[in-house]
C-alpha cells in the first residue's frame, strides 16, 4: 500500500478514536437544539465550514478525517463489497427534512443571536462522565447505524445512504463547478490508460473510475478525493491537481 494511503487511513482511525470528543461538533440534533435557543452551536459552525471549504477541497474531509469514514473503512476487512451508487438519493431523504426542521426552529425562535462553538460540551469535550447515559445511548446508536450500513450496503454504505454531512460538501463542490472556480481535483492522462481496472476495483466509494478516466470526466459528486485511484494506478494515469474544472474529450485507452 502506498505511503499516502497509510497516512490517510491512520488519520481516519485517529479521527474515529476521537469521535467521543468531537461527536457534538458533528451532531445533527445539537444544531436543532441550539437553534431553538437562538444559538449557533459547534455543529452549525462546522457544517458551515464544511460547505465553504468544499469550494476548494471538495469532499476531502470525507476521505481523510471523517470519524464515520474511519469506522467504515476499518470494516473493509470484514465486508468489501461495492456499494450501489444508484441509491445515493436516499441520503437526501434524511438531509432535506432535517434542514427544513432547522430552518423552521430557527425562524420560530426568532433567529440566531449568538455563536457558542462549545455549546453543550464539557470544556470542549462532547462525551464525559458528567454527560449521563443519554448522550452515550445516542452515540452508540449512531455507531450501530454506521456499522450495520457498512456491512449491509457495501463499502462506505453509511456515506452513500444516510450521512447528513456529505450534502454540505456536495453543495459547496457544486457551486465550485458551476462557477468554474479553481480547486483541488483529479485529472487523468487518458491515452496512457491500459484498462486494468485497478482504480475502479480499489475505489472506496465504489465509483467507476476507469470509465471516468476514459470519458475525461474525473469530477463526481461522490468522489472523496482520497487518492486511492491515484496511488494504485500502475501507470500513474491519475493525479491530483489544483485548477479549474476540465472540459471533456473522450479518448480510447491504449491496448495493454
End residue of a domain, out of 174, 200, 222: 174
Mean pLDDT of 2-21: 97
How many angstroms separate the CA atoms of 239 and 201, rounded?
Answer: 17
254 within domain boundaries? no
250 within domain boundaries? no
Cell 459547534: give the residue.
42
Residues 200 and 123 in one domain: no
- Count of residues in the chain: 256
Question: Looking at per-residue confidence, does 94 or 246 come out higher?
Answer: 94
248 within domain boundaries? no
pLDDT range class, residue 1, cuts 50, 70, 90: low
pLDDT at 87: 85
End residue of a domain, out of 120, 140, 174: 174
253 within domain boundaries? no
H or E element: which one contains 63? helix 60-64
Residues 138 and 218 in one domain: no
How many angstroms separate the CA atoms of 35 and 185, rounded?
Answer: 35
Residues 118 and 193 in one domain: no
249 within domain boundaries? no
End residue of a domain, out of 144, 174, 204: 174
Residues 29 and 97 in one domain: yes
**Residue 130 pLDDT > 90:** no
* Domain hosting residue 234, numbered range: 182-243
Residues 202 and 238 in one domain: yes
Mean pLDDT of 127-131: 84
Please answer whether residues 177 and 245 qualify as being in contact, where contact means their C-beta atoms are separated by less than 8 angstroms: yes
Quote the number of domains for the chain.
2
Residues 119 and 231 in one domain: no
How many angstroms separate the CA atoms of 244 and 175, rounded?
Answer: 12
Backbone angles phi, psi at 79, to 5 degrees: -145, 115
pLDDT at 102: 98
Query: CA 5 from chain center: how many Å?
Result: 16
Amino acid at each position: 500500500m502506498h505511503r499516502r494511503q497509510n497516512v490517510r487511513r491512520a488519520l481516519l482511525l485517529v479521527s474515529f478514536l476521537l469521535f467521543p470528543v468531537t461527536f457534538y461538533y458533528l451532531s445533527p440534533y445539537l444544531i436543532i437544539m441550539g437553534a431553538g435557543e437562538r444559538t449557533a452551536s459547534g455543529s452549525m459552525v462546522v457544517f458551515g465550514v464544511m460547505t465553504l471549504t468544499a469550494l476548494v477541497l471538495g469532499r476531502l474531509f470525507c476521505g481523510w478525517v471523517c470519524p464515520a469514514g474511519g469506522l467504515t473503512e476499518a470494516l473493509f476487512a470484514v465486508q468489501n463489497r461495492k456499494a450501489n451508487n444508484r441509491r445515493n438519493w436516499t441520503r437526501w431523504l434524511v438531509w432535506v427534512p432535517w434542514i427544513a426542521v432547522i430552518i423552521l426552529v430557527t425562524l420560530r425562535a426568532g433567529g440566531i443571536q449568538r455563536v457558542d462553538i462549545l455549546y453543550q460540551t464539557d470544556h470542549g469535550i462532547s462525551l464525559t462522565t458528567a454527560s449521563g447515559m443519554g448522550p452515550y445511548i445516542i452515540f452508540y446508536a449512531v455507531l450501530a447505524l454506521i456499522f450495520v450500513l457498512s456491512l449491509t450496503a457495501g463499502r462506505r454504505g453509511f456515506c452513500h445512504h444516510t450521512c447528513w454531512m456529505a450534502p454540505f460538501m456536495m453543495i459547496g463542490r457544486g457551486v465550485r463547478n458551476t462557477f468554474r472556480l479553481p480547486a483541488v481535483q483529479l485529472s487523468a492522462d487518458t491515452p496512457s490508460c491500459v484498462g486494468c481496472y485497478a482504480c475502479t476495483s480499489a475505489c472506496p466509494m465504489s465509483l467507476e473510475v476507469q470509465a471516468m478516466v476514459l470519458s475525461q470526466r474525473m469530477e463526481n459528486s461522490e468522489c472523496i478525493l482520497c487518492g486511492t485511484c491515484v496511488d494504485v494506478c500502475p501507470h500513474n494515469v491519475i493525479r491530483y491537481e489544483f485548477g479549474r474544472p476540465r472540459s471533456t474529450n473522450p479518448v480510447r485507452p491504449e491496448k495493454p
